[in-house]
A and B are shown apart, each in its own frame.
Chain A
Amino acid sequence: MQWEVKSRECDLGEQQLLDKAIKGDKDALSLLLQNNYQFIMGYFIKLTSSPEIALDLTQETMLRAIKKLSQFNKKAKLSTWLITIGTNIYRDWLRKEKRAKEELDQLVINEPAPKNDALNQIIESLPPEKRLPLVLKYYYGYTYEEIAIILEIPPGTVRSRLHNTIKELRCKL
């Protein structure tokens, strides 16, 4: 996990940078966002399979983080907080996307976007409520409790949902 390694390496100075950023130091905040960029970007690429969409969602996540920094609980990890914000932005995007698609469907028969590799196909075949826990668990190594907090779902359902997802993917292989 290259993003993970990268973000962990930056942990040493992260607390100091965070303290400064919360006090209003813009340089510290910029550096923190830069350090976490790949981490968030990778998350969106996994979720959307599209670097262009991932770029937009990453920028939106960064903007929301800048505006809401005062609400950040210092006990949490910054990367986890950013992933939580990113998850909400991804869900908003899905809703908008669904609405736009419905409107478009009434007008034209739209061609499916070309999907290249097998990985994109298998992840994209999953509905978002299964895709999100899989990406958070498999690629980011979050615990079931952390995933439950990020996704705002009961901790008991995370493991069973993931197991069901794996079984479902197996049938699609």
Chain B
Amino acid sequence: MLNCQKAEELMIDTLLEKKPLPKEVASHINECQSCQVLFDDLQKMKSLLDEPIESMNTPPIWYFSHLVSSNKEDEITSQETILFFLLAGFILGIAYWVIRLNLFGPFIAITSFGALLLSLVAVSVGRETRD
């Protein structure tokens, strides 16, 4: 036989878990005045808790895209890491040979010529995109 304390616990569990009331509790309520009062109060509480609330619309996807792109630092992918090390190796290799073969003169000449070419390319590309 169920006592009042146990019945109370089961009624609260029923409310919290949103489960149907166990039969034994229901029959206890029928026979016990104070548990009947508690049950009515819990029903009242349940109807209050279930009152609908003002809901909000979900923003469009561009809002989330904007949040993500303005707050996520671009992570370096493994491909980019490999490229970085290849480039670093290439530069170090050139430096090594330039020093080893004492080719400072031609090296400076070639790099300045390269830089000149690059800036010419940059100017023409810039003009094209502007037009």
B51 at the interface (CB under 8 A from A): yes
Min CB distance B44 to A, Å, is: 6
Given contacts A24-B75, A26-B69, A170-B41, contact A45 B64 (CB under 8 A): no
A173 and B69 within 8 A (CB) = no
B18 and A66 within 8 A (CB) = no
Docked Cα-Cα span, A173 to B58, in Å, equals 34
B109 at the interface (CB under 8 A from A): no
Question: How many inter-chain contacts with C-beta < 8 Å in the A-B complex?
Answer: 91
B65 and A66 within 8 A (CB) = no
B77 at the interface (CB under 8 A from A): yes
Closest B residue to A63 by beta carbon equals: B71
A169 and B45 within 8 A (CB) = yes
Q: Which of A33, A46, A54 has the most CB of B within 10 A?
A: A33
Size band of the interface chain A makes with B: 35 or more
Interface string of B3-18 (1 = CB under 8 A from A): 0000001001001101
B-contacting 9-mer, from A35-43, A93-101, A103-111? A35-43
B-contacting 9-mer, from A12-20, A78-86, A114-122, A149-157? A114-122
Docked Cα-Cα span, A117 to B54, in Å, equals 11
Min CB distance B38 to A, Å, is: 7
Docked Cα-Cα span, A122 to B53, in Å, equals 14
From B38, B51, B61, B67, A31 is in contact (CB under 8 Å) with B61
Docked Cα-Cα span, A2 to B67, in Å, equals 25
Docked Cα-Cα span, A141 to B97, in Å, equals 69
Residues of A within 8 A of B (CB): 2, 24, 26-27, 29-31, 33-34, 37-38, 41-42, 45-46, 51, 54-55, 59, 62-63, 66-67, 69, 117-119, 122, 137-138, 141, 162-163, 166-167, 169-170, 173
List 6 tightest A-B contacts by C-beta distance, closest first. A30-B64, A119-B51, A30-B65, A33-B64, A37-B58, A66-B71
Kindly list 19 other residue pairs between chains A and B, CB separation below 8 angstroms, not including A45-B56, A67-B71. Answer: A26-B72, A29-B68, A29-B72, A30-B65, A31-B61, A34-B61, A38-B56, A38-B58, A42-B55, A46-B53, A66-B67, A66-B68, A67-B72, A138-B18, A162-B12, A166-B12, A166-B15, A166-B45, A170-B41
